[in-house]
């Protein structure tokens, strides 16, 4: 048998030893199973249920009507006609409206002055005050948009009636009150659903974070209890780091293939998230993304001395990584140095590419830049994983030699 054949046989034996040990570690450790297997399913389901309504509807508001005329009543009816708001209270004054607002019974206040109808039909400009709760952006958006639209439609109708009364024909009155008619088409998210917007990014970040924490727990356990020697096949005294890293990555990949297939196949359809793009493009992209995440996770896992370190150091990074991806906050509003820093994490490229494929239907060529970046990160973090594993093995061997010397 040639030297190359013997080396390949040795690598194969070590690879199988590492994979057996890794499967045994995962399925005998409840904490690791919870993070690596069930966390993605639990988080995806919990977030999807929370955002299941997709669009915020029926936000309660209050209207202070000091005009008390048929004109002001028609304006209040317009507020109730839309799907986003409804008039829950009609306080008698602004002080009562303020109390309702601070008690969180309403999220917006409309003040109609006593001279509203007089000015409106007298050809003067009528003023209606709107107070919206801007502490919740979704609340603010729905209330402000609905109220402004209703007021605009009411004003246009009054102007239309005034022109007709002056002798203008209907086409002329319509052209004056509505000089521009527009049609809005919401691409990729036709119902403007919040869940459709945010869930693809959250799922990509969860994949990376559960890998980092779960694999970090295993790495911390091995180093804490000196278990790296178990990766060595029978009859060998030295271990090669490449089969160790490859074997671990294959085991974790096999676990995530199952969970991701469920989340992106069954779960996506249960909650009616967009399923655009080619299946093969998605598979190729996710393969590159998981490879980068696995390489990063294995590299980081060699740094932990105790299993709890991964939870303490990585759990808080999920929200910053989501923001650095440029989804929860526009990329143009993030400082360049901070955005560029975020590019060292697979999640930044993964979120961008996944949304473009699954939500926008991008082709393989259109996400090639993201796949290329993920492949580069895989090589870099894969090399660091090999170096970190080699150093961890050396530390354990030196410690075992010192213990043997003391006993001898």
In a domain, 388, yes or no: yes
Q: Do 91 and 156 reside in the same domain of the chain?
A: yes
Could you read off the pLDDT of 274-303 as tens digits, one per residue?
A: 888 899 999 999 999 999 999 999 999 998
The SS3 call for residue 392 is helix
pLDDT value at 256 more than 90: yes
- In terms of pLDDT, which residue wins out, 371 or 159? 371
Residues 270 and 382 in one domain: yes
Q: What is the pLDDT of residues 115-124, one digit of tens each?
A: 888 887 777 7
Q: Note the pLDDT of residue 369.
A: 95
pLDDT of 408 reads 62
Task: Say how far apart CA 279 and CA 71 lie, in whole Å.
Answer: 56
As a dihedral over the C-alpha atoms of residue 184, residue 189, residue 190, residue 195, rounded to 10 degrees, the angle is: -130
Instruction: Identify whether residues 153 and 84 lie together within a single domain.
Output: yes
127 with 207, same domain: the answer is no
Of residues 208 and 230, more confidence is placed in 208
Least confident of 49-63, 96-110, 181-195: 181-195
Q: What is the mean pLDDT of the chain?
A: 85
244 and 263 housed in the same domain = yes
pLDDT number for residue 175: 72
As for how many domains the chain has, the answer is: 2
Backbone angles phi, psi at 85, to 5 degrees: -130, 160
Looking at the fold, whether 279 and 315 belong to one and the same domain comes out as yes
- On whether both 385 and 265 belong to a single domain, the answer is yes
Do 372 and 314 reside in the same domain of the chain? yes
Q: How many CB atoms lie within 10 A of CB 273?
A: 19
Tell me what the mean pLDDT of segment 85-102 comes to: 92
- Alpha carbon of 133 to those of 84, 102, 341, 386: distances in Å? 14, 10, 34, 53
Q: Are residues 211 and 284 in the same domain?
A: yes
Per cent of the chain over pLDDT 90 is 35
Vertex 202 angle, CA 47 and 263, to 5°: 70
Confidence at residue 231, expressed as pLDDT on a 0 to 100 scale: 67
Asked if 354 and 211 sit in the same domain, the reply is yes
Is the same domain home to 303 and 215? yes
For residues 189-210, average pLDDT: 87
The residue ranking higher by pLDDT, 310 or 355, is 355
Q: What are phi and psi of 103, to 5 degrees?
A: -85, 5
Average pLDDT over residues 322-334: 81
Shared-domain flag, residues 333 and 368: yes
Q: Report the pLDDT averaged over residues 34-54.
A: 87
Strand ranges inside 14-79, DSSP E: 59-65
**pTM of the model as a whole:** 0.84
Tell me which residue range forms the domain holding 338.
3-52+193-407
């Amino acid at each position: 048998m040639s030297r190359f054949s013997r080396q390949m046989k040795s690598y194969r034996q070590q690879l199988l030893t590492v994979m057996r040990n890794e499967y045994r570690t995962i399925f005998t450790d409840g904490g690791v199973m919870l993070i690596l297997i069930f966390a993605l399913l639990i988080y995806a389901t919990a977030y999807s249920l929370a955002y299941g309504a997709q669009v915020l509807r029926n936000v309660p508001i209050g209207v202070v009507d000091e005009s008390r005329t048929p004109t002001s009543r028609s304006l209040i009816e317009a507020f109730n006609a839309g799907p986003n708001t409804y008039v829950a209270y009609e306080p008698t004054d602004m002080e009562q409206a303020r109390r309702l607002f601070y008690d969180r019974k309403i999220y917006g206040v409309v003040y109609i002055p006593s001279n509203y109808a007089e000015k409106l039909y007298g050809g003067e400009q009528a003023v209606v005050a709107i107070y919206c709760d801007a502490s919740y952006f979704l609340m603010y958006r729905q209330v402000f948009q609905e109220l402004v639209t209703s007021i605009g439609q009411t004003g246009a109708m009054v102007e239309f009636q005034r022109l007709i009364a002056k002798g203008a024909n209907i086409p002329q009155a319509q052209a004056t009150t509505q000089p521009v008619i527009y049609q809005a088409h919401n691409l990729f998210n036709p119902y403007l659903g919040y869940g459709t917007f945010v869930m693809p990014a959250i799922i990509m970040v969860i994949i990376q974070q559960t890998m980092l924490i779960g694999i970090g727990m295993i790495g911390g356990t091995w180093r804490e209890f000196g278990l790296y020697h178990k990766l060595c096949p029978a009859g060998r005294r030295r271990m090669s780091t490449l089969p160790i890293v490859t074997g671990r990555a294959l085991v974790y990949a096999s676990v995530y293939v199952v969970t991701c297939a469920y989340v992106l196949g069954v779960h996506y359809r249960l909650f009616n998230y967009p399923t655009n793009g080619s299946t093969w493009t998605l598979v190729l992209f996710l393969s590159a993304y998981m490879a980068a995440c696995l390489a990063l996770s294995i590299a980081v896992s060699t740094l932990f001395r105790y299993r709890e370190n991964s939870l303490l150091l990585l759990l808080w990074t999920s929200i910053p990584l989501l923001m650095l991806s440029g989804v929860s906050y526009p990329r143009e509003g993030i400082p360049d140095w901070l955005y560029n820093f975020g590019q060292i994490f697979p999640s930044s490229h993964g979120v961008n590419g996944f949304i473009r494929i699954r939500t926008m239907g991008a082709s393989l060529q259109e996400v090639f830049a993201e796949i290329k970046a993920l492949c580069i990160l895989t090589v870099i973090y894969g090399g660091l994983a090999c170096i970190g594993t080699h150093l961890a093995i050396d530390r354990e061997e030196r410690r075992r030699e010192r213990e043997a010397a003391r006993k001898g």
